[in-house]
Amino acid sequence: VKHYNYSIIFSAGKEFDSRLTKTGRRSLSHSISHSSTDSNSSGGSDAENPEDEVSPRDMQQINSKGNMDFCIKNIKLADFGRREIELAEDEMTALMALRKAAQGEKPLAAAKIVGCTHVTAQTAVLFETLKVLGAQCRWAACNIYSTQDEVAAALAEQDFPVFAWKGESEDDFWWCIDRCVNVEGWEPNMILDDGGDMTHWIYKKYPHLFKKVKGIVEESITGIHRLHQLSKAGKLCVPAINVNDSVTKQKFDNLYCCRESILDSLKKTTDIMFGGKQVAICGYGEVGKGCSAALKAMGSVVYVTEIDPICALQACMDGFRLAKLGDVVRHVDMVITCTGNKNVVVREHMDLMKNGCVVCNMGRSNTEIDVNSLQTPELVWQHVRAQVDHIIWPDGKRIVLLAEGRVLNLSSSTVPIYVLSITATTQALALIELFNAPEGRYKQDVYLLPKKLDEYVASLHLQTFDAHLTELTDEQAKYMGLSKYGPFKPSYYR
């Protein structure tokens, strides 16, 4: 395969200036394989209509073109979903500029991409961009609550093979993934994953498919952890690009996105007032930094827990109180996990919490809060509203568990479309890079996105603000040992 000429893509910046941005909205949630289980509560999703009791797997649907290669909630929602996608396109100007600049050369021609990400208006813009760039795609959702059913319908109406609906069961979740992979006469040669579930399923059920797979693009910290485990065990048989640790993803999707969405998420689920509230935030990475800053600005007293002395020192220098969770859990009003780890908040912590304490997760998976430990006979689960459950102790004390421990902002609120544009553009470029890389450039290992592409994603979005970069002179570039056009940071910079 010839190496793709990125000059075509870089010209997208010229088209970018002419596009105007508008506001939009998005609602989705994250999951990994062991977080896709059925709800323990009586509700857990907004879909409580009697019609929702009929599984899409038991319905035969057909789009206006006579195509049946999809499984969604309701194909009749397609027009509504198309309007949602068009709204997202207006805000995702960089991805649209990339689509326009590269569509003539079709850098993904002959690519067969199988994906497991969220199925929302914003990710739909990515899916359709990949199709415009020449790829064939099949898609499933990476979480049982993340899908916007109207968007799935809009995709299906355009003959996009999508298998996803909001409120899937555990069995549905894996069935949808299998429908993407187990197709007669069609085998994927690229994987786009968010959480590692698609990669895991192929390794488990169809390992022979990796003979044709050219690479994996993974978005989440959980999926990256899985890939590194495979690599260390010598079982990673294709190259992978880690877009989660690209600078643009870390800084914007994690820091700035969570700084805005945490407040909206808490308001929508609890109607809580933040001023004067005591909050324990577990983890001071990019997500923890964003959440801490937002709550501090609203007048909350914020405690931070950390294992990393560098992040801990940053928290202290930013004016937060560093503590152990066990030392403050008795008197805080909220506990928010932001670590990506497991069992950060366990039953012993929750037994000590005061009445009305809000417990939620902003990290990658639902493993941070030990929700399984709350599924015992002496505790009563009271479903209050979508994504809100009261867990009641025998003495009458109750804690407020949000989104059943899944990612709060992605389950219960909105995430700025602009932020998602950054991540989606990064994913698209990573797929182009892996698919067109000459043989031998990437070995069977996990790589970061090339810094040149990382900077290019930022430059496309920078133009939204009518911002103008300063250009190095030849003398300055020589003095710094840099190209005038980048990359400006070493490959290890994060």
Binding site residue list: 120, 194, 219, 249, 253, 285-290, 306, 409
Pick from 85, 17, 95: which is nearest to 432 by CA?
95
CB count, 10 Å around CB of 24? 22
CA dist 295 and 280 (Å) reads 11
Q: Are 305 and 281 in contact (CB under 8 A)?
A: yes
Which residues, 6+ apart, have CB-to-CB distance to 425 below 8 Å?
94, 95, 98, 457, 460, 461
Place of tokens 């793709």: 4
Amino acid of residue 464: T
Which residues, 6+ apart, have CB-to-CB distance to 25 below 8 Å?
87, 414, 417
The region, left, alpha or beta by phi > 0 then psi within -120 to 50, assigned to residue 121 is alpha
Q: Which two tokens stand for residue 48?
A: 């409580």
Q: Is the peptide bond before 487 cis (omega within 30 degrees of 0)?
A: yes
Q: Are 302 and 279 in contact (CB under 8 A)?
A: yes
Which residues, 6+ apart, have CB-to-CB distance to 277 below 8 Å?
295, 299, 300, 301, 333, 334
Q: How far is CA 381 from the centre of its chain?
A: 28
Q: Residues at the annotated binding site for NAD(+)? A: 285-290, 306, 409
Q: Are 248 and 224 in contact (CB under 8 A)?
A: no
Give CA separation, 326 vs 89, 349, 405, 441, in Å. Answer: 46, 7, 19, 49
Q: Are 207 and 185 in contact (CB under 8 A)?
A: no
Burial class of residue 416 in the structure, from the number of CB atoms within 10 Å of its CB (0-12 exposed, 13-18 middle, 19+ buried): buried
Q: Residues at the annotated binding site for substrate? A: 120, 194, 219, 249, 253
Q: Which two tokens stand for residue 322?
A: 């560093």
**H or E element, residue 241:** strand 240-242
